[in-house]
Amino acid sequence: MIAIGGDHSALSLKKEIMAHLETRGETYKDFGTYTEESCDYPDIAKAVCRAILSGECERGILICGTGIGISIAANRFKGIRAALCGDCFSAKATREHNDSNILALGARVTGAGLALQIVDTWLDTPFSEGPRHKARIAKIDAD
């Protein structure tokens, strides 16, 4: 299951991504926000991260205006590897090399069409780079 969440600036893109996930046959859980009323992205990031770390969800997608703030908030959690991606190459690389468990997107930066391509690339790319990258991830998770 995919955890998904975004702040007020990301509501429209989040809805498009959820509809896209449904067409792919993916299951997801929406952690908010549900209105355009101003909210704080760290609260959304915390909820998604806790769902992943508890095992309730396998991976997550977080969205705010730029994707920067929400990815910073997510990466405060040990065991979370959130990657802000604005292109498909980065989405593929972060899965292959970093085994990222959260994709961060910027709703004011990345158009919906490209965002859906990034989501597909990120979801469809396995972690596949072997021992050298596993050792690097272990170093990240150790501290």
The catalytic residue positions are: 64, 97
Q: 30 pairs with which residues across the strands?
A: 4
CB neighbour burial string for 20-42, b if at least 16 within 10 angstroms, e if fewer? ebeeeeeebeebbbeeeeebebb
123 is written with which tokens?
A: 């979801």
- Cα dihedral: 60, 83, 46, 30 (round 10): -30
Residue 130 to residue 35: CA distance in whole angstroms: 42
